[in-house]
Amino acid sequence: MKHLIILGDGMADHPVERLGGKTLLQYASTPAMDQLAREGRCGILTTIPEGFEPGSEVANTAILGYDLSQVYEGRGPLEAASIGYEMEPDDLALRCNLITLEDRKILNHHGGHLGTEDGHVLIHQLQEELGSDVVKFLPGIQYRHLLIIKGGSKYIECTAPHDHPGEPWRERLVKPIEGMEDFHEDQRMTPRETADLLNYLIERSHTILENYPLNLSRKAHGKPMANSIWPWGGGYRPHMLTLEDQYPQVKSGAVISAVDLIRGIGHYAGLDIIKVPGATGLYNTNYDGKCRAAIEALKKTDFVFLHIEASDEAGHDGDLDLKLRTIESLDQHIVEPILWEVARWDEPVCVALLPDHPTPVELRTHVAEPVPFAFWYKGMEPDSVQTFDEEACAKGAYGHLYLSQFMYEFMKY
């Protein structure tokens, strides 16, 4: 049996008055998802462990069966994997935003929606002026880059810049975790030394970038300058067993996602990262290309994780109509052709369909509530669930599963 997970990021929702008290999954026209639920077995799943924020990286790691308290190292190491940087055992990897500082405050977390090309120019300049055996700047996408500190300590407090727009930036500089200032790990600097180095790099980057021609030209055109780095989300190389190591039926696998964090999780899980041209993570993403890529990957491997970001973005925008459209697109352009295709194969494929967390349009942010899921393969003995939605799946054969129970049950097929 081969295995395919189709994950619609943030697709679950709350009942909405404008939709007659229905959730979006209940309201949208989703014949293929409903077929999958009707012919398969369903349940609901808690994806966020106690004590964790409902982030996509947390939920997706849990869905793949990992214990977050053992493997979660923050965004930096995921970023590293997604851009193809193999972390060394003594590396500290941090997400390195290019942001705008103005009037002593954090104006934004994205440098005025910096493009990838401009981002690369600035990161290369920083590497040239500040790079060393210890400090390495690596280019990523748009405003999202990577900073490696060789021998850096992860026991520091950094600020996620998107959570603190408008706040004085000097008050948000890096600090060692209280009580651990001089904590000693083999081959590593102390948290205090790490924080001092990072703060030095922030100050120096601000001076360099503020006077860099590309930024002067942005300023002249009335655009915000990407005039400082902002490192956060630091961690070490995760100790994750690959899926191959854990499940004998998985000899190889692949991840398909437009989102760097998801690609990073896939990399540490031992999956090949497949990049699909035109996959944007937005409503106009290349659904057909991703669907074809998933089918092709499934022919060659045993396990495919297909992640579609669009409904989460629509949820964050609070755009009800757009989110409905992303759900219907997923149904029509992904679920339907995949069911049609794999039903004709000799080798059976078990398909799982689920969101990672709800991103309710009326809240515009993630919540840590259980999500509906369905397992399906051709000829499966179904339960009584007739439609794929939050309410119906709760009455499914699996009831309420938690975290790694999902993968455990899925891989029994």
Residues of the shown chain interacting with Zn ion in the complex, contacts defined by CB under 5 A: 9-10, 56, 312, 356
Closer to Zn ion by CB, 227 or 257: give it: 257
In angstroms, the CA 407 to CA 380 distance is: 18
User: Among residues 356 and 389, whose Cβ is nearest to Zn ion?
Assistant: 356
Residue whose Cβ sits closest to Zn ion: 56
CB of 355 to Zn ion, least distance (A): 8
By beta-carbon proximity to Zn ion, the closer residue of 260 and 312 is 312
Q: Which is nearer to Zn ion, 58 or 304 (CB)?
A: 58
How near is the Cβ of 56 to Zn ion at its closest, in Å? 3
- Distance CA(186)–CA(62), nearest Å, equals 30
56 vs 228 by CB, closer to Zn ion: 56
3-class state of residue 221 by DSSP: coil
CB 306 to Zn ion: min, Å: 14
Q: DSSP label at 17?
A: G
Q: Which is nearer to Zn ion, 10 or 65 (CB)?
A: 10
In 129-281 the beta strands, taken as DSSP E runs, fall at 135-141, 144-150, 156-157, 175-176, 228-235, 253-256, 272-274
- DSSP characters over 41-100: EEEEEE-S-TTS---HHHHHHHHTT--HHHH---HHHHHHHHTT----TTEEEEEEEEEE
d(CA 345, CA 354): 23
* Minimum CB distance to Zn ion smaller for 9 or for 91: 9
CB of 282 to Zn ion, least distance (A): 14
Q: C-alpha angle 109/114/120, rounded to 5°?
A: 110
Residue 122 is which amino acid? L
Q: How far is the CB of 326 from Zn ion (least distance, A)?
A: 13
**By C-alpha distance, which of 291, 295, 297 is closest to 334?**
291
Q: Of 33 and 138, which CB lies nearer to Zn ion in the complex structure?
A: 33
Rounded CA-CA distance 340/332 in Å is 11
Separation between Cα atoms, residue 297 and residue 203, nearest integer Å: 46
Shortest Å, Cβ 55 to Zn ion: 7
Q: C-beta of 312: minimal distance to Zn ion in Å?
A: 5
| Number of neighbours of residue 222 by Cβ within 10 angstroms | 7
To the nearest 10°, the Cα dihedral for 132, 138, 144, 148?
Answer: -50
Rounded to a whole number of angstroms, the minimum distance from the CB of residue 170 to Zn ion is: 32
